[in-house]
Structure 1
Amino acid sequence: MTEQQPPRRQATVAADPASTTPADRSSSARGFVWLVAGAATGAIATTGLVIAAAAWFAPEPPPSAAGPAAFVEEAAAAGIEHVYDGEFIHFVGGGVAAFDCNADGFSDLYFAGGVNQAGLYRNESTVGGELRFAALSDPVTDLTGVTGAYPVDIDGDGVTDLAVLRVGENVMLRGLGDCRFARANEQWGIDGGDEWTAAFSAKWEGSASLPTLAFGNYVALDADGEQTGACSDNVLFRPASDAGYGEATALSPGWCTLSILFSDWDRSGRGDLRMTNDRHYNADGEDQLWRFADEETPTLYGREDGWEKLRIWGMGIASQDLTGDGLPEVFLTSQGDNKLQTLADGPEKPTYTDIAIHLGVTAHRPFTGGDVLPSTAWHAEFQDVNNDGYADLFISKGNVEAMPEFAAADPNNLLLGQPDGTFV
């Protein structure tokens, strides 16, 4: 869940790295981290590792696009042995956070585990050498029930912290350096709740030294941990002081949210909160856009504001300026055809039109293997994977629970950006 815009180099805080919101103004103390994958990355039985270099956008991209990058599966050889597993409540989780937890310049990894323990791996590779990772076991990080994790320097001490999403209490881990962490819920005044959390985003507001934190919750659970079929409200934490947070604010109604993104969609510098929601559980549900202003209670954009109803099996959000007008497009994953939205009338109002077919990014069926049933897409991310100066699009895919009406063999997509703005 990222938003990017060339050519400015900015900090990513699991939120909106291309906006002009306070999230942009992260000092070097807040660090630079890339979110590789988050809460809604699909039902993953085993986790592989593929790594490629990502380049910054050049001010003047080359006139022709490069070919596909070559990837080699090296998880086992690199020392990574990890499984994300679980029954229904873990089908919409999984993924890995990549960040440097020991200040050696290499990306370390924290894997969600579902019913299994989450896994922290220290990167022990050498420059230009083979990939090598070492598992680090610690009760603080060996959490179960983890659906995703997001790296962000919350306290501004220059050491990356982790927001760990779970079925049950969300846990905030304060980075101590040398890949060590300490539970920080009580220190920061954050009530982790007991919901089924699947999404997270953060931004800095005004002069606050701590970021505003948003958590997206999925289906409500009963006292026995069984799904009720209703949707939980989402929650927001704003700083109460330089040291901690106030009580959570409910963002209601919740429509079974799977991905959220703070985005400066109109380049006003404000930064609003976009939510994509799973239409399966409520006929009244739809995607949402919350208007944020410093110290004001967030409010939903409505029809009178230009916001139009969109009901999809919303799972993932990625954002990038693809048209060169300085305004971010929004890619939304779903079952069947995925959406790519662009502002229909400029930044004056949040009215969007879909250009996914025009740019070749619907990715609605498996691209290989012969299965013609609709795809199920999860996490999506824009990155330049082949270093040609054009944004490429990765889409994680996989059947939810042997759903017969959707493709069973549903490989991930990597769509390469072209000079004319389309993808292949």
Structure 2
Amino acid sequence: MLNIRARTSNFPNSLYDSGLKKRRIVGLILIGIMLALFLAFNRVPKLDTVQADLAVATSPAAECFQGFCIEGPPEKSFFTRWWEFSLTYLQLVTVGMIFAFLVAGATEAFVFPKSADWRLTGTGIRGSLKGLLVGPAMNLCSACIVPVASAFRRRGSGIETTLSITQGSSTFNLPSLIMAAMVFAPLIGGSRIAVSLVGVLLIGPLVAKVVNRHDRLSFSLPYAPAAPDMAGWRETIEESFKEWAKITAGHVMRLAPVMVLAGFASGFAIQWLSPQTVTTWLGDDILGVVIAATIGIAINVPLLFEIPLVAVLLMAGMGTAPAAALLFTAAAAGPITFWGLSKVMPRSAIAAFAGSTWLLGIGGGLAALLFVSLGNGPDFGLRADYGTSTRFTPPVSVVASGNGTDWASSMRFTDVTLDSGITHTHTAPEPLLGKTEPTDMVGGAVAEDFDGDGWLDLFVLRGGEAPSVLYMNEGDGTFSEEAALRGADLPTRHGVAAAAADYDNDGDSDIVVSAQQAPHYLLVNDGSGKFSVDDTTLTEPKMFATSPSWGDVDNDGDLELALGEWNPETAKNYDAATKADNDIPAIANENPLIGSDDLSPLFVYANDGQGRLEPYEFRAAPGIDLWVFAPRFADLDDDGLTDLAVVSDYGMSRIYRNVGNGMFQLERSASPTFTDENGMGAAIGDYDNDGDLDWFVSSIFGQNNPDKGVLGGTGNRFYRNESEMRFADLSSEAGVRDGGWGWAASFGDLDNDGDLDLYHVNGWVQQAEEGNPDEFNNQPARLFENGGYFGFHEVAEQTGSADKGQGRGVILFDYDNDGDLDIFITNNHEYTSDSGEVVRSPAAPTLLRNDTPTSSHWLKVTLDGSPPLHSHGIGSRVYVTVNGLTQMRELNASTNFVTQGPGRIAHFGLGSADTVDEIRVEWVNGETSVLTNVPADQHISIPSQ
């Protein structure tokens, strides 16, 4: 016992009884400190950078990786993209390289100095395992790890250990393994993990066997403890730090210039990739796997950035098997890796290392190809829930766009207005006090199945004192006009807009009509498509009520009603038309009933559940909204409560967040993003299939004079939802600014390819002081086709959908029940100028039948809610998953300006899929309904539980 104590008491002194031991203690502490700082201030923040790249790479709007974007015609020259990519690459690896140089110098100066007898040696798998202890902890890319691996090699480590450090750092670090499993389909992610482990353990022994089975340096000696020399701390540390500085500087001089050049070389190689080369050469075949593996070892990428690179190529059409090959080889090695290690290993070893890495990548790709060929592989390489579950919010990036001149659309439309039996015209506006406003803004209509026969009917306002018309669908492509027969022939006091919903929860769709003068109308459906008129309930606003919208603001199953007002008499008290800060001073409402305050031109009516509507102050804080055109209910922050998006003229657009109990708070944090100068119409939908609702606002694009003074002229706005009430203005990038003088707009999958296209109407006759009256007359409506990663393209002319009337409203609906969406347009009037004399004539509407030649499949979903849910499930969401892609529709009863489509019907384009993997319904009360393996090409109704 005494002897043991004596030995134990001497043990601490033996830790630093020699200069070598003192060096190692100091070196290990230094390396530990540097590693901790490096991980905390570089590697952990880098995960956010990679996540941002992934969010951009996997968005249908823009697929970019560090300056490499999948797009149609490149917006920048080859050399500009190459230069920008290379600079970005160098910025990303600079810190890692500095860390690597410092650690390599510390390893040689402190841990394994030339005087040391013991080194990290070992052969075969044992040598690889020793390298595995070091490599993954470094978290450096295959280029950045070279100085560290070289330092170990120069101090006696075998080829096995050196290559294991290299491979372990770049391919087997924990962050890359987690992200590969999280982002990619199991086949690709699992392949990366398995191949990386094989590479760490076996490449080194295989290379060593090729070169020399017993590869040992001549000075490799058995381990012998350092003999005590009683060297002083100061002397030892000073000498070690001098050596550290000298060795580090040597690494910098030898490797840094080559790494800079190699960064430009990698950027040059990547810029040759394009959608065409990807789909042509990187398909699911042996050649695609070989090419992908070759690309991987021909480039160097920063740590983890092989993940967004592969993601963007998958979005561009790369096959699953090539993706598996590239995901490994891009991380495992590259020109810098081979060149750097060539300084400490023979050429035969470098050749064997490059060849084995390449073959291992091909092996992983071929294994994935085997699974794919047997039908066990994924239909798409990214995980189905990636993006919606992780909720990455990237910075705004470039979206490829085009004007349609180089984009060939498959869509085709045929004008069948007269053949369908639609024969009415809209009354031409008459000047009042020298102006036709606001009667030249209207053109209301709504499409719904009013008699419950499964076919969509049309209720249309005609303007002026002309009675409304009700076209009942005959089921054979024609309509019969039955307004008088069914009690719907309103003399509408200059009717403005119409919206339909089951407001009394009795299972049928009722109609609300807004007018230029109160009262407004409720047409109550008796269930058979016959109506009784209520013209006493809706008394606000007094003048020019605009778009009505229905929504369940408190999730009690009863629908509330929002009505906007565009009233110059109300707005004249404010300098609204020229106020740039979009912040109108609040006017307190002393009476909780909105109608008591004329300065509140946005009205919400509460539904008591008994068929009675009463106005109430919906704002949680006093406020005012002016020049309101299109209020719309939609859950924009994904909290299960419907919010209120308000499109208004003269820069007044804004969002009210639902804060519970039917109360709304103005979302001021989002307001600076909303830059539309003349908001007219609105479309809300998940255009990028990321699980949240995006917002399009139509406005004025000044073609001849972009600066229209108070009117503005910078065009439409496209607000992408970034989650949590944060929006990115992608108007220019999306290519949808130029819509002329825009009005109503709607999202819909017009070609059934799985993403939402955008259609909006336009037209205006300016007053003389505004500009040329003909500037916006006879302008074609806009059809912006969603090209996925190619962005939006304007294709109205080539598809036969370029209606040139004075369009005000548009409805996308499947009137002939053939599974594709048709287009109904309301036109306000026709304008001609003969010898300087202005002539305004009645205008006919337009019905465009969708005749797109396609084999794409479709699905329509409606909901059957039982109390306390709404009968049609308004506000609920329907998710449809096909081949790993999930689309979402939120059922609504809101107008897009003066018109409303059948928002209670969720229409989905399915592309080539003839079966839906899953339909998931999220009801507003939190319940969920799920159906699986549902055949396509049908209309399915899902009841609540």
Aligned to 1:301: 667
2:563 paired with 1:215: yes
The 8 Å contact of residues 232 and 256 in structure 1, kept in 2 or not, is answered as no
Instruction: Check if 1:332 corresponds to 2:332.
Output: no
Tell me if 1:341 matches 2:723: no
Pair member with larger Rg: 2
Distance 1:382 1:249, change over 3 A: same
Structure 2 counterpart of 1:271, one-letter code: T
**Residue 246 of structure 1: SS of its match in structure 2?**
strand
Does the Cα contact within 8 Å between 2:673 and 2:729 map onto a contact in 1? no
Within the candidate set 121, 141, 153, 2:489 is matched to 141
Bigger mean CA offset, 107-116 vs 74-83? 74-83
Which of 773, 782, 785 aligns to 1:413? It is 782
Judged with a 3 Å threshold, the aligned counterparts in structure 2 of structure 1 residues 387 and 116 are, in CA distance, closer, same or farther, namely farther
> Are 1:239 and 2:607 counterparts?
yes
Say which of 264, 281, 284 aligns to 2:635: 264
* Contact 2:655–2:666 (8 Å) recurs in 1: yes
Tell me, in whole angstroms, the C-alpha distance in 2 between the residues paired with 1:178 and 1:400: 41
Which of 127, 136, 150 is equivalent to 2:499? 150
Q: Kindly tell me: are residues 173 and 77 of structure 1, through their superposed partners in 2, closer, same or farther at Cα, counting changes over 3 Å? A: closer
Paired with 2:723 and 2:606, the residues of 1 have a C-alpha distance of: 27
Q: How does 1:71-86 map to 2 (within 5 A)?
A: 71-75=414-418, 78-86=421-429
Structure 1 contact 141–181 (Cα < 8 Å) conserved: no
- The answer to whether the Cα contact below 8 Å between 2:748 and 2:757 also exists between their aligned partners in 1 is yes
Look up the match of 1:57: none
Structure 2 Cα separation of the partners of residues 411 and 204 of structure 1: 36
Deviation larger for 408-417 or 72-81: 72-81
Q: Name the SS of the counterpart of 1:91 in structure 2.
A: helix
Change (3 A) 1:165 1:190: closer
Deviation digits for residues 168-224 of structure 1 (CA, Å, limit 9, x no counterpart): 1211111113331112355xx5435422111222211335242121111111459xx
Distance 1:379 1:421 in 2: 25
**Matches of 1:335 and 1:315, distance apart in 2:** 9
- The match for 1:171 is 521
Distance 2:626 2:784 in 1: 30
Letter matched to residue 270 of structure 1: L
Of 105, 108, 115, which residue of structure 1 is paired with 2:457? 108
- Residues 241 and 234 (structure 1 numbering): CA distance in 2 closer, same or farther, change over 3 Å? same
Aligned residues: 336
Task: State how 1:274-313 maps to structure 2 within 5 Å.
Answer: 274-279=645-650, 286-295=652-661, 297-303=663-669, 308=673, 310-313=675-678
**Partner Cα distance (1:146, 1:306) in 2:** 31
CA shift in 2, pair 1:263/1:421, >3 Å: farther
User: Contact 1:306–1:351 at 8 Å: present in 2 too?
Assistant: no
2:534 counterpart letter in structure 1: A
| Preserved CA contact (<8 Å) 1:119 1:135 | no
Question: Is the deviation greater in 401-410 or in 207-216?
Answer: 401-410
- Unpaired stretches in structure 2, ≥5 consecutive residues: 1-378, 381-406, 430-435, 575-598, 702-714, 794-945
Q: CA 1:148 to 1:190, structure 2 compared with 1: closer, same or farther past 3 Å?
A: closer
The whole-number CA distance in structure 1 between the counterparts of 2:498 and 2:422 is 21
1:197 counterpart (527, 537, 545) = 545
- State the one-letter code of the partner of 2:636: W
User: Which is helix-richer, 1 or 2?
Assistant: 2
CA distance in structure 2 between the partners assigned to 1:117 and 1:250 by the alignment = 34
The code of the aligned residue for 1:398 comes to G
**SS of aligned partner of 2:607:** coil
Q: How has the CA–CA distance of structure 1 residues 361 and 172 changed in structure 2, closer, same or farther, with 3 Å as cutoff? A: same
The answer to whether the 8 A contact 1:209-1:242 is kept is no
The 3 A distance-change label for structure 1 pair 89 and 73 is same
Cα distance change, pair 116–263 in 1 and its aligned pair in 2 (3 A) = same
- C-alpha change, 1:244 and 1:407, in structure 2 (3 Å) is closer
Q: Distance in 1 between matches of 2:572 and 2:671?
A: 33
Does structure 1 residue 351 correspond to structure 2 residue 719?
no
Any conservation in 2 of the 1:338–1:362 contact (CA below 8 Å)? yes
The CA deviation at 1:275 is: 0.7
Cα distance in 1 for residues equivalent to 2:671 and 2:687 = 22
Instruction: Report the Cα offset of residue 229 of structure 1.
Output: 7.9
SS of equivalent residue, structure 1 residue 420 = helix
d(CA) in 2 for partners of 1:232, 1:143: 27
Contact 1:185 1:192 in 2 (8 A): no
Q: Decide whether the 8 Å contact of 1:84 with 1:112 is kept in 2.
A: no
One-letter amino acid of the counterpart of residue 287, structure 1:
S
Q: What SS is found at the alignment partner of 1:358?
A: helix
Give how far 1:154 is off: 0.3
> Whole-Å Cα distance in 2 between the matches of residues 122 and 376 of structure 1?
29
2:686 matched to which residue of 1? 321
Q: Which has the higher strand share?
A: 1
CA contact (8 A) 1:342 1:354 kept: yes
Q: Give the direction of change, closer, same or farther, for the CA distance of 1:278–1:207 in structure 2 (3 Å limit).
A: closer
**Which of residues 335, 360, 365 is equivalent to 2:735?**
360
Q: Does residue 418 of structure 2 align to residue 68 of structure 1?
A: no
% identical equivalent positions:
19
Instruction: Establish whether residue 388 from structure 1 lines up as the match of residue 756 from structure 2.
Output: no
In 1, Cα distance between equivalents of 2:756 and 2:661: 35
| Number of the residue aligned with 1:19 | none
C-alpha contact 2:765 2:776 (8 A) present in aligned 1: no
What amino acid is aligned across from residue 412 of structure 2 in structure 1? A
Q: Structure 1 residues 301, 72: CA separation in 2 closer, same or farther (over 3 Å shift)?
A: same
Residue identity opposite 1:312 in structure 2: E
Structure-2 separation of matches of 1:275 and 1:325: 23
What do residues 41-77 of structure 1 show as CA deviations (whole Å, max 9, x unaligned)? xxxxxxxxxxxxxxxxxxx89xx99612222242365
Output one character per residue of 1:218-267: Cα deviation in whole Å (capped at 9) or x when no partner: 11459xxxx96878611111124544233343764122011111121111
Deviations 1:343-399 (A, max 9, x none): 3xx323x332221222222234xxxxxxxxxx1000000112222333111111111
Letter in 2 for 1:117: A
Q: 2:479 aligned with 1:132, yes or no?
A: yes
Q: TM-score, normalised on structure 2?
A: 0.33
Match of 2:644 among 250, 261, 273: 273
Cross-structure match for 2:466: 117
Q: Distance in 1 between matches of 2:555 and 2:792?
A: 40
Distance across 2 between alignment mates of 1:341 and 1:390:
17
Root-mean-square deviation (CA), in Å? 2.9
Change (3 A) 1:243 1:70: closer
Structure 1: unaligned runs, 5 residues or longer: 1-59, 280-284, 365-374
| Structure 1 position 140, deviation (Å) | 5.0
Summarize the Cα distance change of 1:323–1:65 in structure 2 as closer, same or farther, 3 Å threshold: farther
1:335 to 1:408, Cα distance in 2 relative to 1, 3 A: same
Q: Give 1:245's aligned amino acid.
A: L
> Residues 171 and 90 of structure 1: is their aligned pair in 2 closer, same or farther, counting only changes over 3 Å?
same
Would the aligned equivalents of 1:338 and 1:363 in 2 still touch at CA under 8 Å? yes
Structure 1 residues 307 and 267, CA gap change in structure 2 (3 angstroms):
farther
AA aligned opposite 1:78: G
2:444 to 83, 90, 95: 95
Matching of residue 254 in structure 1 with residue 592 in structure 2: no
